[in-house]
Amino acid sequence: MTITQLQYVLAVAEYRNFTVAAEKSFVTQPTLSMQVQKLEDELDIQIFDRSKKPISITEAGQKIVDQARNIVNEAARIKDIVDQEKGFIGGTYTLGIIPTVMPTLLPMFLKTFINTYPKVQLMIKEQSTESLIKNLREGHLDAAIAATPLGVDDLVERPLYYEPFVAYVPDSHRLSQSGKLKPEDLDINDILLLEDGHCFRDGVINLCKAGFNPSQDHFQLQSGSFETLLNLADEQMGMTLLPYLHTLGLDDKRRNRLKYFQEPPPAREVSLIYHKKELKQQITAAIRETIAAVVRGAIVFQDVRIINPSKKMNT
């Protein structure tokens, strides 16, 4: 049994196809198939059921795949230890970011990071929170940035910053002449929301006192874009809430329609998340320090009230 064989098993388990697994592993398909078969013969057990399309994992095979992932990760930790001892910060690093954070945070820190750490090959993927959790657990991501707390036992959450909610209120809206807002001023059925699956949407719903009743809407909106919500608000279709960093790029006309909340404002906690069996700790620390440095000057709020995105309301 070799580490390489276990890596091939993990590739087949991920892609459920020997040809694709071989391509992703940069070997020929016969080589990969032979090594997987050799491991099955050595263990005297079938890991994959090749009679099904796509290939499935046997019950015993799933246990082997889970253990193989642990072994491969622990083997990789040896190089991680050596890199830390040498003070080396480099190599491939895969970072996942949720869609409501990616457009504003990434331009703030990416150039600084790649200039400071040119030996890091950073791969960035935009994914939902659910996908981030799954991929962190399966080792497809080294770390992720998402709204927290998530309360996932095997993941570590390191807060990066606390981002207040800001209301965008069109001129004809009932709140357009108001000063600073309070959460009880909001009517959830009057707020344009992102599509289901976005944690920022859940945070907005949790913030509002009134129950969410989609059946009362005159139209159903499914959008993952804050720009779409802003355009609809400009057409007097309702108000919306934005993360604070998203408001920094608005033009003067739109900035005049922003309404801030009374202190302490409702906010979301944005954290760097990684598995408890973390690898590449030196790169994770470098990303955290870089983001903290650039965001520190952009968000000046001191006291905030954290809205838990994982707490679902009865609707």
Q: pTM (2 decimals)?
A: 0.75
- CATH dotted code for 89-162+268-300: 3.40.190.10
| Cα gap 57→16, rounded to integer Å | 8
Judged on CB neighbours under 10 Å (0-12, 13-18, 19+), 199 is buried
Looking at domain 3-84, which of 2.40.37.10, 2.40.50.140, 1.10.10.10, 1.10.645.10 is its CATH number? 1.10.10.10
pLDDT of residue 196: 67
Per-residue pLDDT of the chain (315 residues; tens, 9 = 90+): 999 999 999 999 989 999 999 999 999 999 999 999 999 999 999 999 998 888 999 999 999 998 998 888 788 778 777 777 777 788 889 999 999 999 999 999 999 999 999 999 999 999 999 999 999 988 889 999 999 999 898 999 999 999 999 999 998 899 988 889 998 888 888 888 887 667 787 888 888 755 555 544 544 555 668 888 899 898 888 889 999 999 998 999 999 999 999 989 999 999 999 998 877 889 999 999 999 999 887 887 768 888 877 654 332
Which one-letter amino acid corresponds to residue 90? Answer: G
Q: Do domains 89-162+268-300 and 163-266 have the same CATH topology?
A: yes
Between CA 136 and CA 126 the distance in angstroms is 13
Residue ranges per structural domain of the chain: 3-84, 89-162+268-300, 163-266
From 39, 304, 34, select the one nearest 164 (Cα to Cα): 304
Query: Encoding tokens for residue 52?
Result: 């099904």
Instruction: Summarize the chain as % helix, strand, coil (round to 5).
Output: 45, 20, 35
Phi then psi dihedrals of residue 87, to 5 deg: 75, 20
Torsion, Cα 107 132 224 176, to 10 degrees, reads -70
| N-terminal to C-terminal alpha carbon distance within the chain | 53
32 Ramachandran zone, left/alpha/beta (phi>0; psi -120 to 50): alpha
Just give the CATH number of 163-266.
3.40.190.10
C-alpha span between 225 and 82 (Å, rounded): 43
